[in-house]
Amino acid sequence: MPLPMGPTGSISRAAAVSVLVASLHAADGPYVSSSASAIWQDNATNAPSGDGILGAFTLEGGTSLTWIHSVDFSTLLSGGISTTLDACTTFSRLDSAGISPQLTLRHKLGVGPFAPSLGIGLEGDAVGFADPERSRVEGAVVAGYSQRFSDSLQLAVEARAGSYDARDIVFCGNYASLCATLNWDVDDTWRLRVLAGLRTGDVVSNYAAEHSPQGWIPVDLGAFNNPGAWHYVSTFGTPFVAWRVDARTVFCGVGVSPAIGPHSSLVLQLVTYDTEGYDRYVDNVLTAGIVRRF
């Protein structure tokens, strides 16, 4: 499934990184995990029906380093750095590389494995795209709640509010989201997952375009009245017009994650994103991958 950062946002990111670096000296770690995934989207352009829906296949790799510091018996401070590398085999201008620092404080409300826990954190992200106008920096405040109801059933809820500032105003924006995930460990090997959530804020939709005396316009002239920031893009190999729109996205999905070793597991997940803004856009995202922790 998605604002310009002003001076305040820039200071917040710098402060988060400074606190993160300082905390690493007194923490245990690093704990390392890596992942590799193949991702298929049936509407990578986020276009409405009939206005330029194109699918895309992406190979994604990622590595994360995490340090953990025990503040007291029930509170943990964790910091980390994650890197990602994406290669879109369908549209090479969507190839990207990113780096993301994170800082999170978690507190357990009680004693025992079934006591709930709360978390609050800061995340930053810097992503460079082969299509340079999409390159961006991003910051977010993240809050989380987790509760284990039994040895096999766990609920995790995450809320976040963020903003991102790209080289072009069309790809800038703000957003807020809420996601709930229910994990069920069927046995020592199989984990099933159900997730659902809501996102509100800016998204970019791409409409198939044609040239006119007024410049590039959508093939569907009705979309030309869209009030958001827009311009012509060559990202998809054929003419498209990209628009930034304010929209609401409802998403839900299911996944299965069998363990294939003491530190490795496979991931297969399907998530549907239904976005309602100036138009309606539906995107189904299928992910197959492997995660290994060291």
Q: Tell me the Cα Rg of the chain.
A: 20
Q: How far apart are CA 267 and CA 276, in angstroms?
A: 29
- Is 7-201+246-293 in CATH node 2.40.160.40? yes
Q: Are 254 and 214 contacting, i.e. CB atoms less than 8 angstroms apart?
A: no
> What pLDDT is attached to residue 279?
86
Torsion angles phi and psi, residue 150, rounded to 5: -160, -175
Contacts for 6 with CB less than 8 Å, ≥ 6 apart: none
Question: Can you give the pTM of this predicted structure?
Answer: 0.86
Q: How far apart are CA 268 and CA 1, in angstroms?
A: 16
Region for residue 179 given its phi and psi (left: phi exceeds 0; alpha: psi -120 to 50; beta: otherwise): beta
Residues of the chain whose pLDDT is less than 70? Answer: 1-26, 213-228
Q: Is the dihedral of CA 286, 33, 186, 262 positive or negative?
A: positive
- Domain ranges in the chain? 7-201+246-293
> What pLDDT is attached to residue 4?
35
> What pLDDT is attached to residue 18?
56
Tokens coding 49: 């029906």
Q: What is the pLDDT of residues 37-52, one digit of tens each?
A: 999 999 999 998 877 8
Torsion angles phi and psi, residue 165, rounded to 5: -125, 115
> What pLDDT is attached to residue 104?
97
Q: How far apart are CA 163 and CA 156, in angstroms?
A: 23
Tokens coding 4: 């310009």
